[in-house]
């Protein structure tokens, strides 16, 4: 009946359901009404709070803290994470969030409440998602990314270390307008995107840019304050002399169009959607 493994000094509340093949290591705390899928691995000292639901094959690192709501009574809170997540040590995820499949975090990540994430999202070490954010599929955030409340990151975005998305145009104030990062846009190291700024599809924000105006499709912006310095389609690889952008046509590692190419993948996607729409 109990076909899962538990180390020493761990506590699992009787009301929680643990899938078969799951391994719970030492000094783990699993509170009430938790549901773990099959073949989940929970490493030493992790704390999984009441109302957490994890899919099959998830791996929870040492000292992680799931469905945290520090010192706030919130009986109904729920944290739902899909299948095959890899959540590295020291990560804290608050409640009332829903995260898709193949989620990954680095170490010591913080993700606050009311955040929705699609599939294949990864959030790097020390990154800090402040809550009330919408993050689409295949968003890749590197280390130390700071995502202010109400930021929207549409999907297939690359966000590099020390990037900050802000939300208060006249701090401090009661206004909160997040930035919107449209599909396929790339935001390089150390740049700051100011409140309400729209970063359009396929654009590129250079390292250290302070972006206080909307960025058009294909534009490269750089500097403080950021100015348009070119078009991504003109960037050539220094060694090969070939184009690199829009990156979705030139890069496919771990993307859904891997080995097929973006165009083929998009076409077949469109076909699927049309069929679904019942033409």
> 2 or 71: whose CB is closer to its own copies?
71
CB of 63 to its own copies, least distance (A): 6
Q: Which residue has the tokens 């097929």?
A: 260
CB of 203 to its own copies, least distance (A): 13
> 25 or 118: whose CB is closer to its own copies?
25
Long-range contacts of 131-134 (CB under 8 A, 24+ apart): 131/94, 133/178
Between CA 244 and CA 236 the distance in angstroms is 6
Nearest Cα to Cα of residue 196 among 150, 255, 146, 249 = 150
Between CA 53 and CA 29 the distance in angstroms is 15
> 101 or 128: whose CB is closer to its own copies?
128
In the three-class reduction of DSSP (H, G, I as helix; E, B as strand; rest coil), residue 36 is classed as strand
> 97 or 125: whose CB is closer to its own copies?
125
What single-letter DSSP state applies at residue 132? Answer: S
CB of 78 to its own copies, least distance (A): 19
CB of 278 to its own copies, least distance (A): 36
Beta pairing, strands 5-6 & 219-222: unpaired
């Amino acid at each position: 009946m109990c076909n899962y493994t538990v180390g020493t000094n761990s506590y699992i509340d009787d009301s929680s359901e643990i899938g078969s093949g799951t391994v719970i290591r030492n000094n783990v705390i699993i509170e009430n009404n938790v549901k773990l899928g099959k073949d989940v691995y929970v490493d030493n000292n992790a704390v999984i709070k009441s109302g957490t639901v994890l899919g099959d094959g998830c791996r929870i690192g040492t000292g992680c803290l799931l469905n945290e709501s520090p010192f706030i009574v919130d009986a109904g809170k729920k944290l739902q994470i899909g299948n095959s997540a890899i959540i590295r040590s020291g990560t804290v995820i608050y409640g009332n969030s829903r995260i898709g499949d193949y989620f990954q975090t680095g170490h010591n990540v913080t993700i606050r409440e009311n955040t929705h994430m699609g599939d294949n999202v990864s959030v790097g070490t020390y990154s800090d998602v402040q809550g009330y954010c919408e993050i689409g599929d295949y968003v890749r955030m590197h280390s130390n990314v700071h995502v202010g409340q109400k930021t929207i990151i549409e999907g297939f975005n690359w966000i590099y270390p020390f990037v900050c998305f802000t939300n208060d145009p006249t701090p401090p104030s009661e206004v909160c307008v997040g930035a919107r990062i449209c599909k396929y846009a790339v935001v390089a190291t150390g740049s700051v995107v100011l409140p309400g700024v729209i970063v359009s599809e396929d654009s590129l924000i250079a390292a250290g840019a302070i972006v206080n105006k909307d960025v058009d499709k294909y534009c490269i912006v750089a500097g403080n304050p950021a100015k348009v310095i070119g078009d991504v389609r003109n960037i050539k690889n220094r060694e090969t002399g070939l184009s690199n952008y829009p990156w979705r046509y030139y890069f496919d590692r771990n993307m859904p169009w891997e080995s097929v190419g973006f165009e083929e993948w998009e076409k077949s996607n469109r076909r699927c959607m049309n069929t679904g729409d019942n033409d």
